[in-house]
Amino acid sequence: MSQKPPSDILDRRRFLGAAGLSAAGALLPIAAKAGEGAKPDPAITELQDWNRFLGDGVDKKPYGVPSKFEKDVIRRDVSWLTASPESSVNFTPLHALDGIITPSGLCFERHHGGVAEIDPAQHRLMINGLVDTPMVFTMDDIKRMPRVNKVYFLECAANSGMEWRGAQLNGCQFTHGMIHNVMYTGVTLKTLLDQAGLKPNAKWLMLEGADSAGMNRSLPVSKALDDVLIAFAMNGEALRPENGYPLRAVIPGWQGNLWVKWLRRIEAGDMPWQAREETSKYTDLMPDGRARKYTFVMDAKSVITNPSPQAPLKFKGRNVLSGVAWSGRGTVKRVDVTMDGGRNWHEARIDGPVMDKSMVRFYVDFDWNGQELMLQSRAIDETGYVQPTKAELRKVRGVNSVYHNNGIQTWLVHPDGVTENVEIA
């Protein structure tokens, strides 16, 4: 094995040679080592309860839950952000996840009028407006249509929105956790529209939810006929109530607010509706006082999830840097990582499936000697879009656009492994 893995970007010699670093990391252990005089590990030498007594029987948990040792891996909210928990958001614990699929129970929530609890037998989907025949479908009708399975990321347009003016929240759960990546099962919106027959002058659709916010958004017909799904399952089981049970829209690569949950009606029309959620909200105020509207696509973005403020480095020596990247314009082509705040970049190793408008997982396996690190990642997608720095973004957009902050995130790793959210220049 003479060849260094391409991801092994931190050359040990280079770091050992760097001035003033070697003493700094002294607090942290290298991985536990058995050597002369070492005491035997009681985890091995002592009989453990679980190794002796019977565990729970099969029916103890008819619907399984994570180990009690994982109790801190939960969605969290930032209570000062919103007026009430019914119109609020919580965040996916990205720092505690791996691979590319977000477990259903950890998918961040964003509601505008609380979670609608809908009896699927009472749920109807209506298609009306500029169609040949306005139609009504039951859930049973929809489940008799040809199905598709697709993995897509859903990112709230306001993800990282609190960071426009500088580093604010100390954890990637809070800075980047308004995203999840899920496998959906459903039918194409085209299949449904075909049943009603779109009229040629139908250029826009209005999607409307059955929740108490009556969430509604305008969607161009071109997108609707391209890759939009109407889904009833996520990650192999029925949608969770908080994710739109029994039926939701899946609008690949486009801002999460369009993915109307508890979907009950689709109206075809010849112009957009200018709903509150596409005028008052989800428009991007620019420095000249005007605002961009219908900014649907989510630009390419990435974040290092480990290490990060909630997941500091614990050991010198061998470590795994890990993160996720995504692009609303297609597939992620490459992810670069820097450890010196953007002076030198190296290609990370993407592992696992690379799919259209889905998250990818990347890794850098590296040796750490306890020196300070300024970690960043940048995603590059199939269109050649390179995730910009926050400074580059602010140059165009100022600091008041709220939405679409896909700037490069910096984590500062201290010699004791503590990691914090910083801005650098």
Partner 1 sequence: MSRSLSLIAGLAVVAIAAVPLTQAIAEKATAKASKAVATQPAPPPAPAKLGLGRPALPDEIHAWDTDVRPDGVGLPPGKGTAKQGDSLFQEKCSTCHGEFGEGVGRYPVLSGGVGTLKADRPDKTVGSYWPDATTVYDYIRRAMPFGNARSLSADEAYALTAYILSMSDVIKDPDFELNQDNLAKVKMPNAGGFYDDDRDVAEKQFWNKSPCMKDCGPAPKVIGRAISVDVTPDDKAGPKVD
Contacts of ligand HEC in 207-246 (CB under 6 A): 213
Residue 72 in tokens: 């801190």
170: contact with partner 1 by CB under 8 A = yes
244: contact with partner 1 by CB under 8 A = no
Piece of 13-21, 56-64, 81-89, 308-316 that binds ligand HEC (CB under 6 A)? 81-89
User: What is residue 345's three-state secondary structure?
Assistant: strand
Compute the least distance from the CB of residue 144 to partner 1, in Å.
6
Distance separating alpha carbons of residues 258 and 156, to the nearest angstrom: 9
Cα 187 to Cα 227, 236, 239, 243: the distances in Å are 10, 14, 14, 17
Q: 268-287: which residues touch partner 1 (CB under 8 A)?
A: 268-276, 279-280, 283, 285, 287
280: contact with ligand HEC by CB under 6 A = yes
51: contact with ligand HEC by CB under 6 A = no
CB atoms within 10 A of CB 136: 12
302: contact with partner 1 by CB under 8 A = no
On whether the CB atoms of residues 315 and 325 are closer than 8 A, the answer is: no
Distance separating alpha carbons of residues 177 and 310, to the nearest angstrom: 12
191: contact with partner 1 by CB under 8 A = yes
Residue 197: which region, alpha, beta or left (left: phi > 0; alpha: psi -120 to 50)?
Answer: left
Compute the least distance from the CB of residue 7 to partner 1, in Å.
15
**110 versus 248: smaller Cβ distance to ligand HEC:** 110
**Burial of 78 from C-beta contacts in 10 A (0-12 / 13-18 / 19+):** middle
112: contact with ligand HEC by CB under 6 A = yes
**217 versus 333: smaller Cβ distance to ligand HEC:** 217
**238 versus 399: smaller Cβ distance to partner 1:** 399
Compute the least distance from the CB of residue 88 to ligand HEC, in Å.
8
Piece of 23-31, 80-88, 220-228, 401-409 that binds ligand HEC (CB under 6 A)? 80-88
**74 versus 238: smaller Cβ distance to partner 1:** 74
Which of ligand HEC, partner 1, none does 240 bind, CB closer than 5 to 8 A by kind?
none
**Burial of 25 from C-beta contacts in 10 A (0-12 / 13-18 / 19+):** buried
| 22, 87, 191, 331: which one binds ligand HEC (CB under 6 A) | 87
Residue 401 in tokens: 């656009």
| 94, 130, 258, 373: which one binds partner 1 (CB under 8 A) | 130
Distance separating alpha carbons of residues 69 and 292, to the nearest angstrom: 46
| 109, 155, 242, 267: which one binds partner 1 (CB under 8 A) | 267
44: contact with partner 1 by CB under 8 A = no
**210 versus 213: smaller Cβ distance to ligand HEC:** 213
Residue 370: which region, alpha, beta or left (left: phi > 0; alpha: psi -120 to 50)?
Answer: left
| 41, 136, 318, 320: which one binds partner 1 (CB under 8 A) | 136
Residue 375 in tokens: 């970690």
CA dihedral 200, 204, 207, 213 (to 10 degrees): -140
Distance separating alpha carbons of residues 16 and 421, to the nearest angstrom: 26
**DSSP code at position 330:** S
**112 versus 357: smaller Cβ distance to ligand HEC:** 112
User: What is residue 184's three-state secondary structure?
Assistant: strand
121: contact with ligand HEC by CB under 6 A = no
22: contact with partner 1 by CB under 8 A = no
Distance separating alpha carbons of residues 141 and 209, to the nearest angstrom: 19
**DSSP code at position 99:** S
User: What is residue 125's three-state secondary structure?
Assistant: strand
Which of partner 1, ligand HEC, none does 264 bind, CB closer than 5 to 8 A by kind?
partner 1
**145 versus 317: smaller Cβ distance to partner 1:** 145
Q: Show the site string, 71-100: x = touches partner 1 by CB under 8 A, - = not.
A: xx-xxxxxxx-xxx-xx-------------
CB atoms within 10 A of CB 253: 22
| 83, 121, 271, 425: which one binds ligand HEC (CB under 6 A) | 83
**192 versus 213: smaller Cβ distance to ligand HEC:** 213
**125 versus 239: smaller Cβ distance to partner 1:** 125
Beta-bridge mates of residue 335: 379
